Amino acid sequence: MCDSSKIPLNVLPSPLGGEGSGVRGAPCVFRSEHPKPSRQLACARLGLRFGCGCRVLFLALLISQSIVPSITAADAQPAFRLRDTRPKHDNAKLAKAGIHKYESKRLCLYTDIDPNLAQPLPALLDQMYDAWESHFGKLPPAEDKSAFQVTGYLMKSRDIFRDTGLLPQALPGFSHGRHSGYEFWMNDQPTDYYRRHLLLHEATHCFMTALPTNTVATVWYFEGMAEFFATHTLDGNGRAKFAVMPHDRDSFSGLGRIKLVLDDVIAGQAKDVASILSLTPDDFAKQNSCYGWSWALCKFLDTHPRYRERLRSLLPVVRRPDPKQQVADLFAKDWPQLQTEWILFLTNLCHGYDIERAAIDFKPVKPLASGTTAVKLSVAAGRGWQSTGVSVQEGDMLHIIASGRFALAKEPKPWVSEPQGVSIRYHQGQPLGKLLAIIVPDISQVPAGQQFGTSKTLPIGREAEVTAPVTGTLFLRVNDFWNELADNAGEVAVEIRP
Ligand SMILES: [Zn+2]
């Protein structure tokens, strides 16, 4: 059967819609030594194809077979953080030139933008500092016992900053922002959101540079974590939440990281995890989407219950020789699961995508016994794809029967459905609430260099007989938008018969 184009084309947002011209460019361009070459982790770039083909998602890979590294004595942190060598400025003289200083504990900001726009920015960084330390751990103290503070230059007119010496002639050129030690420079941005985002991005680089770890060499991590922390919401009282998943386009005006990723996916330029770990500074300079990919990987790992702690343990790992291999080793024990979930994440990525509820519990699998034996299980309405633990061979016939009532929404009142779904709203061309199936091949069984793909989605409803289109494990879910799983409740009782 050959209808694979239906699934991703229905799932992925139109490349013409939404953020379009509002997507801002690369926040900063930096130069550093490329990561040292290491033994090959994975061979080919992920390519998601949307043409006619019996498999919808394709990935060629080699799997790294390595041990998980342990913390060693060499991981011990130095006693002091990077020395603060920021210059002192003549504030009165700068004020006459139209550049004013706004200061909080963590940020000293020099800018010529509207004071109403500038005033709230330093306090934002004071909130951010707690988020950094919560993730990376406490900075070592300064040798001179000074508190951590960075200086930012937010420029509406670069000429004024050049003339007053705040924008050094020796500073390499940049399109949007650049950092060096405890200082950063950035051009003013057309949207309030992206002005704050870029400021937080560059300041995160300053914090990471002050860490006793050369994270610059691991470029996906250095840029991805800056994007990760900078993606924020702000309430009416000025309270920020950092490292959030963008829940809509309008609240993150000018960001467009999801669009950058999806545009690559649609163009057949999707990246698998190993490809992201291999990104170089030149890649970031040439492809704006690298910021989207590195953000997506950091956000995915940090939000996923199985990988969160490992992302948070990366600092000592990236300090070691051959950091790319060290990072891959950290994920080696469940590399096949990570690759599989990454593909499903890319297939369904949208604003507000619920990474935590879409996380997959990979059960041990066994074939469905012959005869009349049925496998019974429940499928939670508030989760993504769920393994049945049933393995099937291509061409196997399966008889699936589902029953039960569950809720697809809580407000304004519980919206109750049964496994056939409710034909008021549709997602992927199927009613919300309808029981769906896919077959997910075992990625670790795919020989190196060969293509990997999940099956098309199979509509089940109350009862269906289906023929397995590929060999793999049967997964089920209740149809719903990937950003609306949180308000679902209840489960479907399922019987799978041969
Ligand atoms: Zn950057």
pLDDT of residue 208: 92
Q: Which two tokens stand for residue 93?
A: 């003289």
Whether residue 498 contacts residue 371, with contact meaning beta carbons closer than 8 Å, is answered with yes
Tens digit of each residue's pLDDT (9 = 90 or more) over 376-430: 999 999 999 999 999 999 999 999 999 999 999 887 777 899 999 987 888 988 9
> Strand, coil or helix: what is 1?
coil
**Interval between CA 318 and ligand 1 midpoint (Å):** 17
Residues of the chain below pLDDT 50: 1-23, 25-27, 29-74
d(CA 292, CA 122): 26
**What is the distance in A from the centroid of ligand 1 to the CA of 43?**
27
Q: Classify residue 104 by burial, with Cβ atoms within 10 Å: 0-12, 13-18, 19+.
A: middle
Q: In this predicted structure, what is the pLDDT of residue 468?
A: 94
By C-alpha distance, which of 175, 233, 231 is closest to 201? 231
- Tokens describing residue 328: 């891959």
Separation of alpha carbons 243 and 226, rounded Å:
9
Q: How far is the CA of 184 from the centre of ligand 1 (A)?
A: 10
Residue 225 in tokens: 């974590």
Q: Which long-range contacts (CB under 8 A, 24 or more apart) does 13-18 make?
A: 13/259, 13/262, 13/350, 15/259, 15/262, 15/263, 15/266, 18/249, 18/259
Ligand 1 midpoint to CA 207 (Å) = 12
Query: How much is the pLDDT for 474?
Result: 97
Helix (H) or strand (E) holding 232: strand 232-234
Domains along the sequence of the chain with CATH: 6-76+243-352 (no CATH), 91-211 (3.40.30.160), 360-497 (2.60.120.430)
**Cα 53 to ligand 1 centre (Å):** 39
SS3 433: strand
pLDDT of residue 452: 66
Residue 317: φ, ψ to 5°:
-70, -45
Q: What type of residue sits at position 275?
A: S
**What does the pLDDT read at residue 72?**
46
What does the alpha-carbon distance between residue 199 and residue 182 come to, in Å, rounded to a whole number?
A: 13
Distance (angstroms) between ligand 1 centre and the Cα of 226 equals: 6
- Look up tokens 């879409």; give the residue: 358
Ligand 1: centre distance to CA 244 (Å) = 18
Burial of 432 (0-12, 13-18, 19+ CB in 10 A): buried
The C-alpha atoms of residue 108 and residue 130 are separated, in whole angstroms, by: 17
How many angstroms separate the CA atoms of 73 and 320, rounded?
Answer: 12
Ligand 1 centroid vs 181 CA: distance in angstroms? 13
Instruction: For residue 116, count CB atoms less than 10 angstroms from its CB and return exposed for 0-12, middle for 13-18, buried for 19 or more.
Output: exposed
Decide: helix, strand or coil at residue 447: coil
Q: What ranges in 362-424 are assigned the alpha helix state H?
A: none
Q: How do residues 51-88 score in pLDDT, each as one tens digit? A: 222 233 333 332 222 223 344 444 555 678 889 999 99
Q: Locate tokens 């077959």: which residue?
A: 439
Instruction: Using the mean position of ligand 1's atoms as its centre, give its distance from the Cα of residue 16 in Å.
Output: 27
Q: How many other CB atoms are there within 10 angstroms of residue 366's CB atom?
A: 11
Q: How far is the CA of 120 from the centre of ligand 1 (A)?
A: 22
Cα-to-centroid distance, 29 and ligand 1 (Å): 6
How many angstroms separate the alpha carbon of residue 204 from the centre of ligand 1? 9
Ligand 1 geometric centre to CA of 101 (Å): 24
**Cβ contact 133:229 at 8 Å:** no
Q: Would you state the pLDDT for residue 106?
A: 98
What pLDDT does 318 receive? Answer: 77
Q: Which string of DSSP letters, residue by residue, matches 286-317?
A: H-THHHHHHHHHHHHHHHSTTTHHHHHTHHHH
Give the pLDDT of residue 261.
95
User: CA of 281: how far to CAs of 65, 185, 334, 490, in Å?
Assistant: 27, 19, 28, 47
pLDDT of residue 314: 87
CA of 227 to the centre of ligand 1 (A): 8
Question: How confident is the model at residue 175, as a pLDDT?
Answer: 86
Confidence (pLDDT) at 303: 97
Q: How far is the CA of 203 from the centre of ligand 1 (A)?
A: 9
Residue 29 burial (C-beta neighbours within 10 Å; 0-12, 13-18, 19+): middle
Cα(79) to ligand 1 centroid in Å equals 27
pTM score, two decimals?
Answer: 0.84
In order of 11, 91, 165, 175, the CA distances from 169 in angstroms are 48, 20, 8, 15
- Residue 275 Cα to chain centre, angstroms: 14
Rounded Cα–Cα distance for residues 493 and 55 (Å): 28
Rg of the chain taking only CA atoms, in angstroms? 25
Distance from the CA of 272 to the center of ligand 1, in angstroms? Answer: 21
From ligand 1's centre to the CA of 216, what distance in Å? 10
Q: How far is the CA of 27 from the centre of ligand 1 (A)?
A: 5
Residues 374, 367: Cα–Cα separation, whole Å = 11
CA of 316 to the centre of ligand 1 (A): 21
CA of 127 to the centre of ligand 1 (A): 20
